[in-house]
Structure 1
């Protein structure tokens, strides 16, 4: 059943060897920039490439500020803290996500609340969000959102742009504004994706990017927090141990974190960022080829939402049911082609099983059917 797809994937990636799900491409000035940092001896958290990477990422995303961090989870953690999330607070998010989204909430001492997703975006549903809040929350006399059951504060909303496909941000933002919630975008997978002309991560008050080794561009490990200028300054302070500027004294004025991205990693990031639009174009062509190939297939290719530009970080298909999903996974992996199911729902993990949640019918439906296909930039597109 899946032999034509296996043949197509091998033709795209021009190899009979093992094909990974997503591999990095180093076709630019990565080696030159990294060696320059080594020669300068500024390889750690202070260096010209960190500042340059932040400036260039802010310009690319059109964000007022961008603050580099050691990884995307650290960026998300600081973003949530800047959103005012603290112990015993609640943060509304989706169950269909990578575990880092929920871990960052817990790092703040808060608890995730799981709300259903939309099938066409794979991300948080504004309809489900409004329904959950209407049933379970209220606005107190000061306009703060609280849980009806015990008056705990509902502070923020954390949607994730799954596989690079933008969430319905207009809908989610409207709900957040009605209920007084801070919108924090988990844009870890969506660098290069646009929602109605705006880069993901810049519609909410705060956003977080990731540059892990499997992302569309990589710094080896790294992340970036996107925010306005005021929150950007606060983020820079919190990610550099809250150290006050001084020629030689060590003065730290609040509890903070050693989350600064090393200059060595930022050098690689600058070289990768120079190639980002080339990567996006190549991945979008690959997605179009997948879509054409699968037009008469028993599986359905997942397309970008209307009015959006997806980076198609990971291409994905919908199977007819769980049995077909498992058959596809087995056939491709046995053929040396890495495919993966979507994540197990967060409410099924032991540390989040007791969290509040709404009706998760769409998330459960997708969990049983989604498979990711190899999505690296094809070798004929990865040119120096």
Structure 2
């Protein structure tokens, strides 16, 4: 690597005032300590408590949906979101291969089949035009139900994932789902505070899922949420994630197989404090993107990935795309060796051993991005 890359690494360390700059770490202050301490003093630290209700109400209001159901992590949220959307065993679920493994795993928990589709170069999310052409060839509607002509399995749902906080082309995806009678289940794990044409991500589908892992825009330590405008679905999600226990003062009666996916009150307390600062975090993230764009002006063969048109991204992870003339692994090694933690994009899921035989379309854009995308330090400053 040349002197310009060394200067880039030096500028990042100087910007953060650290010799080793993490990829992303949470930001806490006195408010988190106050709420968590209050929770501990109350004794209500587990699955029941006022902070869970408060977090759910404030999150729903921020996103602009009627209901939020807080759960233990984003994977659990997506698992239940798919279940209440009607995904059943042996159904196929369309989803990007360029996503975190949780998207595919949640489908597999239901004994359903991930069906991998390609992404758009402008959004990093599902390419609606390419998917439409693909479905015209491989699927057919039978009495209002979409089937894969090759496998004869029902194709039940589409999961768009807002990669690194950049919104997908939601208008076209909504239209596509209507055309093919698909349930739209958004994987909004990374996109709290991101908007498509002024509407918050997670509010387009029948149901959606968010994550509040320690590296997300806000964190509850571990945690996630199911979001929906459907009150009945929200009630059912709450029921399923609290072991499907029938309300009763003393009796323990459960009316179906449920899941112990409840978010503990102590985690929700942390989340309430974080949610009060989410607008500040996002403003700082967007400023950081502008700073990086300035720093990159002196580097050849690399550029910032910017928010798609009509979108406002939270810039959760700052993302660089490299020209193919640059060796991704050499760039990653250089940055990490010089105190700037950086990572590649995920290994495309269709290349992982347990998913290699699953149905897929042509994934040339996914396979291109695998070679040229890296993430660099993204903690708000």
User: TM-score under structure 1 normalisation?
Assistant: 0.96
CA shift for structure 1 position 315: 0.4
Paired residue secondary structure (1:294): helix
How far apart in 2 are the matches of 1:56 and 1:43?
A: 19
Pairs within 5 Å for 1:297-312: 297-298=299-300, 299-312=302-315
Contact 2:13-2:339 within 8 A present in 1 as well: no
Q: Deviations over 1:91-134 (max 9, x none)?
A: 00001000000000000100111111001111110012112211
Shift of 1:230: 1.9
- Which residue does 1:131 correspond to in 2? 133
Matched positions, count: 376
Cα deviation, residue 27, structure 1: 2.2
Contact 1:242–1:256 (CA under 8 A) maintained in structure 2:
yes
Partner of 1:84: 86
Query: What aligned pairs does 1:45-124 form with structure 2 within 5 A after superposition?
Result: 45-124=47-126
Q: CA deviation at 1:56?
A: 0.3
Which residue of 1 is the match for residue 163 of structure 2?
Answer: 162
Q: Assess if the C-alpha contact under 8 Å between 2:118 and 2:366 holds in 1.
A: yes
Separation in 2, partners of 1:79, 1:8: 42
Residue 318 of structure 2 is matched in structure 1 by 315
Which residue number in structure 2 is paired with residue 231 of structure 1?
A: 233
Which residue pairs with 2:27 in the alignment?
25
Does the 8 A contact of 1:28 with 1:275 survive in 2?
A: no
Determine the C-alpha separation between the residues in 2 that align with 1:43 and 1:151.
Answer: 48
Checking the alignment, whether the CA contact within 8 Å between 2:138 and 2:149 is kept in structure 1 is yes
Q: After TM superposition, give the deviation of residue 294 of structure 1 in Å.
A: 1.3
Matched, 1:328 2:331: yes
TM-score by length of 2: 0.97
Corresponding residue for residue 382 of structure 1: none
Is residue 24–residue 215 contact of structure 2 (8 Å, CA) maintained in 1?
yes
Contact 2:9/2:339, CA 8 A, preserved across alignment: no
SS at match of 1:244: coil
3-state SS in 2 of match to 1:86: coil
Distance 1:354 1:148 in 2: 17
Show structure 2 runs of 5+ residues with no match.
none
- Judging changes above 3 Å, is the alpha-carbon distance between structure 1 residues 139 and 28 closer, same or farther for their aligned structure 2 residues? farther
Maintained 8 Å contact 2:74/2:224:
yes
**Once superposed, which parts of structure 1, at least 4 consecutive aligned residues long, lie more than 6 Å away?**
none
How many Å apart are 1:337 and its aligned residue? 1.1
Is 1:190 matched up with 2:191? yes
Distance 1:209 1:156 in 2: 18
Q: Work out the CA distance in 2 between the residues paired with 1:340 and 1:32.
A: 34
Q: Distance in 2 between matches of 1:128 and 1:94?
A: 12
Which residue of structure 2 lines up, in the alignment, with residue 180 of structure 1?
Answer: 181
Say whether the 8 Å CA contact 1:105–1:111 is kept in structure 2: yes
The equivalent of 1:377 in structure 2 is 380
SS across alignment from 1:138: strand
Deviations 1:248-306 (A, max 9, x none): 11111111111110001000000000110000000100001111221342211100001
The answer to whether the 8 Å contact 1:113/1:356 transfers is yes
Cα 1:152–1:334 shift into 2, 3 Å: same
What secondary structure sits across from 2:158 in the alignment? strand
Q: Say whether 1:350 aligns with 2:353.
A: yes
